[in-house]
Structure 1
Amino acid sequence: MKKMIPGLVAALVLTALPAIAQDAAATPDPAAAPAVSADVAYIFNTLLFLIGGFLVMWMAAGFAMLEAGLVRSKNVTTQLFKNISLFAIAGIMYWVIGYNLMYPSDWTVPGIIGEIFSPKGIDAVGTGVADDGYSAGSDFFFQLMFCATTASIVSGTLAERVKLWPFMIFTVILTGVIYPIEASWQWGGGFLSEMGFSDFAGSTLVHATGGFAALAGAIVLGARYGKYRPDGRLQPMPGSNLALATLGTFILWLGWFGFNGASQLAIGSVNDAADVSRIFVNTNMAASAGAIAAVITTQLLYGKIDLTMVLNGALAGLVSITAEPLTPSIFAALLIGGVGGAIAVFVVPMLDKFKIDDVVGAIPVHLVAGVWGTIIVPATNPDTSFVTQIIGVVAIGAFTFVVSLVIWLILKATMGIRVDREAEITGLDISEMGMEAYPDFVQAK
């Protein structure tokens, strides 16, 4: 039965592809929508960026709670610290170098690398220009949140054995250089944009990028002590608090409406407002389908429902729809998210076979489901092609993985990236932070 499940999933996708391509909603006639003034459009577009931005910022709390719940209690404080520190690092690095590297006014290497050091400026006090469409500050704020999200993905994978300072140094490079460069290839008008590659809100540009960086780190770092036994058996290492993990998932689900919805980049017209609402619906449907797919898949595979897999199934559904949340019909969104949820379940044991230790399941959720969501875009969006999508995924993945791998290897050779065995057994909260998240409980040594 277990061997039949992947085939059944593939058959479902192939059977339903024609239905995906048939969008149920008619495209509205732009001429039928009354125009609004430039001032009104500016105000509403700016509000969309700001509201979307603080919803995505709230996802940082979701990642923190999810990771705090999925690591063992002796490592919770460290995970919480990593999440707040990476968010602060991203905020500074994206201002110093990242934003203008991602949206260059000049290209040092045409279509590939933009101008390097040019701190982002915002509108002076009282100088908004309606013809710009939205305020410079709102755009910077919104785009910064995506940068921080990329770094959050790496944090969970490398939990429970990575040193803090090497992790923070890597975060500086990821948020200041790696993410802005690859994102510029699409959102900054680079060569992928010119090719016709499409990634609406970042299934690959944000999520798979974080996943590739995490994969490189996990390979160099190695698995947690005792995770893979010499006899080939897997040692379960359950998380400390599934209530926190569930709360984190709901926070991420909520934040995703800002992530995808505000990526419409405009709500100053009737048509844009309708599209944003359509994106909200598809985003929610994909998450729902991902969760239910994980419920069914874990029941069939293991005979019992696995809550952690269901949480990741919902997140995988969200990641999958992020590449194109606008054009699919509701049924298509359900199918795309459902496949993503199944992917999250199937990839976990595959990683274990290669002894790649991903503590929170970020690689299946963000990397693999992100790739799936990006490649399936042409099934609902006729303005791109499968070949172009694959080229984009390969280019971004190769760049991110190779550069990340080199950086992790340099950090390992120069300062070391892993705590010693005694510190890992005792817990990073004591060895790295000197404080515990649950001091009233005796930690198992």
Structure 2
Amino acid sequence: MAEADFKYILDTFFTLFAMVLIIFMVPGFAMLEAGLVRTKNVSAVLTINVMIYAVASLAFLLVGYKLAFGSWDSVTNSIWAVFMFQMAFVGKTVNIMSGGVSERVRIIPLAVFTIVMGAVIYPLVVNVSWGADMIKGTLFDIEMYDLAGSTVIHSTGGWALLAAIIIIGARKGRYVEGKIRVIPASNIPLVVLGALLLWIGWFGFNGGSVGSISSVENANLVAKTIMNTNTAGLAGAIIAGIIMYVRYKLLDITMILNGALGGLVAITAAANYYDMYTPIFIGLIGGALVVFAVPVFDKFKLDDPVGALSVHLVNGIWGTLAAGIFVESISFMAQLKGVVLIGIFTFSISYIALYLINKISVFRASDDNQLEGMDINECGVEAYPEFKRAI
């Protein structure tokens, strides 16, 4: 067998393996969100997550991939493996949204927006960052470095979520007479399972984005990227636990896990560039940002049941800018420009699309339906029919 053929086969296998790890993030998001919402809304959350994977992936297959990358072509490994790897990313932008608008969003209009995200919004963001760059030379000519999507995926999903929360509003009873009503998670074991599945999936997310493993140099780079990814998650979890204990003398597992996810989001922009120590600092800041951002969003009555804005939007921005701070060859101004332009574009287009869809099919469930639960009204199947549903 020729050396070129062997490298082609090895890199194709590597790409497919990374894709499988990323797909593990689908049940990761589903379990995390199912555990953080009330029992009366679990089936609806799970249905939304399955529909996002199906709808976004098909929209990307039919329209989005060509818009993002210009052509179906690859010389280093199988184009079908390359497509599957890129397809695994697309649904994550809407998964970020789905948790943040859970417990009051209707499934059909969200599925319609998923088509828009998978076919148009996300592919255009990819086009100017990773892809064909069909508008090179214009204001939106972006030279930002973003290995696996701190901005391209995470803050893109975060900006779309922000637009959705503004349009849909808070859950009934979340903010009462100027006070924040705490709505506890329904299933902590599911939260832990979901977060750890996401953590594992991140190894394919970042490691796979290196693109090749068929040489000693690339194999070492993949390994270093995965190690740095894990390190940032560890640091994020630890600092979130420390801050919660100092402030409240309690160790909140949901905040610890979100701190870990914040660190993972932050390292995603340049995990392949950092030495083995810098990810600790990036993860520490990422985890701390999650803890401090959650009450800030609540202060503005931006109801986010899973903390997605704090994890994905805030740390998507931090991680992208951090690459420009800590990596000498990456321009901070280029990173800042990318964050600002993609933020403006994504929020604006998402808001317009959500607004128009909302005029045709309202996103927000009625107060009565929210009180009864989205499982009954959207799915007809309760996740826990033997349990008394909490209001």
| Fold match by TM threshold 0.5 | yes
2:15 to 46, 49, 52: 49
Distance 2:122 2:204 in 1: 20
SS in 2 for 1:132: coil
Instruction: Check the 8 A contact 1:153/1:210 in 2, yes or no.
Output: yes
Residue pair 2:68, 2:132 contacting (<8 A) in 1 also: no
Q: Does 1:156 pair with 2:99?
A: yes
Aligned residue runs from structure 1 range 37-436, under 5 A: 37-105=3-71, 132-190=75-133, 191=136, 195-230=142-177, 232-436=178-382
Q: For residues 163 and 247 of structure 2, what CA distance do their matches in structure 1 show?
A: 29
What is the letter of the counterpart of residue 22 of structure 2?
A: V
SS at match of 2:175: coil
The residue matched to 1:442 in structure 2 has which SS? coil
2:103 aligned counterpart, secondary structure: coil
Q: CA deviation at 1:193?
A: 10
Letter in 2 for 1:90: A
Percent identity between the aligned chains? Answer: 43
**Structure 1: gaps (5+ residues):** 1-35, 106-119, 123-130
Instruction: Compute the RMSD of aligned alpha carbons.
Output: 1.5
Determine if contact 2:148/2:206 at 8 Å carries over to the other structure: yes
Cα deviation, residue 194, structure 1: 6.3
String of CA shifts for 1:169-213, please: whole Å, max 9, x gaps.
011101111000011101014249965310011000001101111
Judging changes above 3 Å, is the alpha-carbon distance between structure 1 residues 261 and 233 closer, same or farther for their aligned structure 2 residues?
A: same
The CA deviation at 1:253 is 0.5
Q: TM-score, normalised by structure 2?
A: 0.96
TM-superposition CA deviations, 1:43-78 (whole Å, max 9, x none): 111111100001000110100000000000000000
Letter aligned with residue 93 of structure 1: A
2: CA distance, partners of 1:247 / 1:415: 34
Measured after TM superposition, the shift of residue 269 of structure 1 is: 0.7
Structure 2 Cα separation of the partners of residues 314 and 440 of structure 1: 34
- 1:251-281 per-residue CA deviation (whole Å, 9 max, x = no partner) reads 0000100000010001111100000000111
CA deviation profile, 1:120-172 (whole Å, cap 9, x unmatched): 6x8xxxxxxxx911000000000001101111111100000011111100111
Name the CA distance, whole Å, in 2 between partners of 1:412 and 1:96. 25
Q: Which runs of 4+ in 1 moved over 4 A?
A: 192-195
Using the alignment, how far apart are the partners of 2:380 and 2:132 within structure 1?
Answer: 46
Bigger Cα Rg: 1
Letter in 2 for 1:134: N
User: What secondary structure is seen at the aligned counterpart in 2 of 1:375?
Assistant: helix
Q: Which amino acid aligns with 2:53?
A: F
**CA–CA separation in structure 2 for the residues paired with 1:441 and 1:194:** 54
Q: Distance in 2 between matches of 1:407 and 1:146?
A: 21
Amino acid at match of 2:108: W
TM-score (norm 1): 0.85
| Conserved 8 A contact 1:187-1:193 | no
Question: Is the Cα contact below 8 Å between 2:129 and 2:142 reproduced in 1?
Answer: no
Amino acid at match of 1:357: D
In the alignment, the residues of structure 2 paired with residue 86 and residue 241 of structure 1 have an alpha-carbon distance, to the nearest angstrom, of: 22
Counting matched residue pairs gives 386
